[in-house]
Amino acid sequence: MQEKISFPAKALAVIDQSIQNISFGEIVLIVQDGHIIQIERTEKIIISSQKNFRQEKKNTEEINLLRKKILGELSHLQYGQLVVKIKDGKAVQIEKTEKRRFPEVEGVYGDGI
């Protein structure tokens, strides 16, 4: 049975702030040994869109729901990354890339996979 993973309050605050403030872009959470070690935020500014210039406040229920989904995906991730894509102020996609290492697998000449 896998133990419940907790995330630092600072990481959760950055996730919440990013969800709240980005209109177009993505949030990338890098995970190593089951811990968030890096967060990247990329915001795109769409010149033809007026939504970039007047931020619409997202309600707490929306933020909590998305945060719960993100933490659920992260809780099973030991190595890899989670990318949350945001368009028009809404999370439209979550991509999870999981890395697995097989130390017992060796190639013909002693090299890895």
pLDDT digits (tens, 9 = 90+) for 40-92: 999 998 787 655 445 566 778 888 889 899 999 999 899 999 999 999 888 99
- Tell me the residue range of the domain where 29 lies: 9-45+52-98
Calculate the alpha carbon distances from 86 to 19, 56, 59, 83, 100 in Å.
8, 14, 16, 10, 27
> Is 63 contained in some domain?
yes
User: For residue range 24-50, what is the model confidence (pLDDT) as tens digits?
Assistant: 999 999 999 999 999 999 999 878 765
> Is 81 contained in some domain?
yes
- How many domains does one find in the chain? 1
Angle of the 60-74 helix axis to the 9-21 helix axis, nearest 10: 130
Q: What is the pTM of this model?
A: 0.76
> Is 113 contained in some domain?
no
Structure tokens at 71: 């933490």
